[in-house]
Amino acid sequence: MRLLRILFRLAWRNLWRNHRRTIIMLGAIGVGVWAMIFMTALTRGMVDQMIVDSIGVLPGHVQVHHPDYQDDPSISNRMLISADDISERLDTGAVKAWASRVRVPAIITSERESRGVTLLGVDPEAEREISFFDYDEVDGRFLTDVNDKGIVIGKKLAKTLETEVGKRVVLMSQDPDNEIADRGFRVVGLYTAKTKAVEEAYAYVGRRTAQTMLRIGDATSEVVFLGDDYRNVDPIYDVAVSAVGEGLSIRPWYDIDTYLGAMLGVMDGFVLVWVVVIFLALSFGLVNTLVMAVFERVREIGLMLALGMKPGSILGQIVIESMLLITFGLAIGNALAWATVVPLESGIDVSIVGDGMEMWGMSSMLYPKLYVSDMVLASSVVLLLGFLASLSPAWRASRYEPVEAITKV
Amino acid sequence: MSAVRCVDLCKTYRQGDQDIKALDHVSIEIDKGGFVCLSAPSGGGKTTLLNAIGGLDIPDSGEVYVDGQRIDNLSKGDLADLRLRQIGFVFQAYNLIPVLTAQENVEFVMQVQGVATSERNEKAKEILKEVGLEGLENRRPAEMSGGQQQRVAVARAVASRPALILADEPTANLDSKTSDGLMELFTELNENHSSTFIIASHDQRVMNYAKRLVRMLDGRIVEDIDQRAA
């Protein structure tokens, strides 16, 4: 303990022997650690947003379908369970919102253009919590109930079809007997989504209206459940199983969109690689600083060895010096990261590269997310690798022959 | 029992194409409490002999005993332990650790030995007073004169009461007045603490203070004089 005290004292005072070099190194470590955490926060935020947006479009954390629906999302693969049946059995404890829908591929035709869309027959009230757009921001109006005879489409689709609120369009799909099922609808509203692709993809009609058009009675294509946290879907999954029973396909979002699910796993690996890459750049400076510090103190180290200090203590002294430097650098880096990320958590407008972001399924606002686990990871990696990097100069210092070192000019 | 006994020590250094015999079959025995000056011109082998006695250098052949223990075959770790607990060193220059104060430098060896804080504080203050540096305890080496620095080094060497104190050219960088002061201090400590002093020097003043003068030339002992008798 007494030996450790003198080692700490020597390490600390030696650290401040060359103020300028130490401050520059502290700055380098601080900025490096800040970059590790800031970029990680930015990337975490991007992926989070991507997942949240994607789940918002799917939407839901857990979905229930006919077992063959994913391979063939036609009306043939519908579920005979009605919304009323689910409502009776549902324990809403862990569920923030749920909705039962008709969801089939269809063709929408205006007097000028035709497009393939996904027809969503929805219960407007049930969808309110799940929807990726605010009903109040719809141009015109959103659907009022399941029997609403109007249609709500995206602004981009309206532009493509060269139609507008008040005009009529025709929806065409197939009924269970593979006969054409079609119907004319008046456009009552135009919604805005975060990406143009989404605005072109979905057409909303009342669920009962869709069921009547498709001649499927009370049957639906999809039931979705939404919880509070996309990372914790197990409770929702259990609720879904008890609500819809056996024989149906019940899947969490990451099974439905495997790309997004994989993104979460890839993110952790990416963060680690990013942290290690930045450290490697930093380590050159760190090792150089330590080598210089040792080189300048050869005679002093020789003196300590001559006086009876063990080589292990010399090694310990240099490693402690390195760890002190790194610890202060980490404190600076973490504080900088916190001070810069927290004010930006309300969003960074990157609309200047909005088109590029859209290609990746992201909106033009970035919301950096500062996770304590990422700060701990970056700090642990820097401490561990810093320790390893300091071993080489420390080892060299401890191997000096006292007689040679003490007479070194 | 003798404090130091060297038997037939040989040490050869290679310098360019030449082999230089730093120690050429040197044998010497120094009694406990002795005050010996090893005198030789530069390259005469005095520092090599001093380093061999201090476990800082291993002879090519021969045996070295300190306080009856053979040390030339000890491991590095054991040699470090021997230096820490049994030998005090005073070197020609660069004697102190620059980032420590005078008192901390004096306490250094004791702290590595594991002596309790209060005990080493007390000892350090006492010995600094003894070497005439009372009031300078908190000065760093850069804030002291060469003579004061050497006195701190002496204080450090004797603070833990080692049986053997080795000094290599301790007066080389000092003026005559400071050199005399330092040698008087050595004499006083030798008498008061009964430590054995072996000083390597070619300074006549140092030779005059020594009770025993051992002259070396080309790695051999050429003269061994008991100056008390003279």
Residue pLDDT, tens place only, A349-407: 877 776 676 666 666 777 888 889 889 988 998 899 889 988 988 998 898 888 888 87
d(CA A303, CA B90): 10
- Ramachandran category for residue B106: left, alpha or beta (phi over 0 → left; psi -120 to 50 → alpha): alpha
Contact B112 A402 (CB under 8 A): no
Interchain contact A307–B (C-beta under 8 A): yes
What is the dihedral sign for C-alpha A214, A218, A223, A227?
A: positive
| Token output for A400 | 């000096």
The answer to whether B168 faces chain A, any CB pair under 8 Å, is: no
Residue of A nearest to B116 (CA): A2
| DSSP bridge pairs for B12 | B21
Say which residues have a Cβ less than 8 Å from residue B103's Cβ, sequence separation at least 6.
Answer: B121, B124, B125, B128, B137, B138
Residue ranges per domain, chain B?
34-58+84-215
Burial class (CB in 10 A: 0-12, 13-18, 19+), B77: exposed
- Residue A43 has a pLDDT of 85
Of A95 and A147, the one with more pLDDT: A147
User: Alpha-carbon distance B221 to B164, whole Å?
Assistant: 21
- How close, in Å, is residue B158 to chain A by CA atoms? 12
B109 CB within 8 Å of a chain A CB = yes
Judged by a CB distance cut-off of 8 A, whether residue A313 touches chain B is yes
Kindly list the residues from chain A whose CB atom is less than 8 angstroms away from the CB atom of residue B77. 310-311
B85 touches chain A (CB under 8 A): yes
Contact check, Cβ <8 Å, A306/B91: yes
Pick from A307, A403, A309, A301: which is nearest to B87 by CA? A307
pLDDT of A48 strictly over 90: no
Is the pLDDT assigned to residue A409 strictly greater than 70? no
Confidence of residue B35 (pLDDT cuts 50, 70, 90): very high
Cβ contact A144:A124 at 8 Å: yes
Name the CATH superfamily for B34-58+84-215.
P-loop containing nucleotide triphosphate hydrolases (3.40.50.300)
CB pairs under 8 A between A and B: 72
pLDDT, one tens digit per residue, over A287-338 is 888 888 888 888 899 999 999 999 999 999 999 999 999 999 999 999 999 9
Contact A18/B at CB under 8 A: no
Q: How confident is the model at residue A165 (pLDDT cuts 50, 70, 90)?
A: very high
Nearest Cα to Cα of residue A42 among A270, A260, A229: A270
In Å, what is the CA distance from A143 to each residue of A152, A187, A281? 7, 10, 57
Q: Could you tell me how far CA B201 lies from the centroid of its own chain?
A: 11
Q: What is the mean pLDDT of chain A?
A: 87
- To the nearest whole Å, the CA of B111 is away from the closest chain A CA by 6
Residues of B in contact with A406 (CB under 8 A): 91, 94
Contact A304/B at CB under 8 A: yes
For chain B, say whether A11 makes contact (Cβ under 8 Å): no
pLDDT of residue A104: 92
pLDDT at A361: 60
With a CB-CB cutoff of 8 Å, which residues 170-229 of chain B face chain A? none
pLDDT band at A49 (very low <50, low <70, confident <90, very high): confident
Interface check A311 vs B, CB under 8 A: yes
Instruction: Give the span between the Cα atoms of B191 and B203, in whole angstroms.
Output: 21
Alpha-carbon distance of A185 to A120, in angstroms, equals: 14
Which pLDDT value is given to residue B36?
94
Alpha helix positions (H), B19-100: 46-53, 76-86
Per-residue pLDDT tens digits for A70-109: 888 888 888 888 888 887 777 777 788 888 899 999 999 9
Picking from A340, A290, A335, the residue whose alpha carbon sits closest to that of residue A315 is A290
Supply the ipTM of this predicted assembly. Answer: 0.90
pLDDT at A84: 81
**Contact assignment for B112 to A5 by CB distance below 8 Å:** no
* A325, A26 contact by CB (below 8 A): yes
Among partner residues A6, A303, A311, which is closest to B112 by beta-carbon distance?
A6
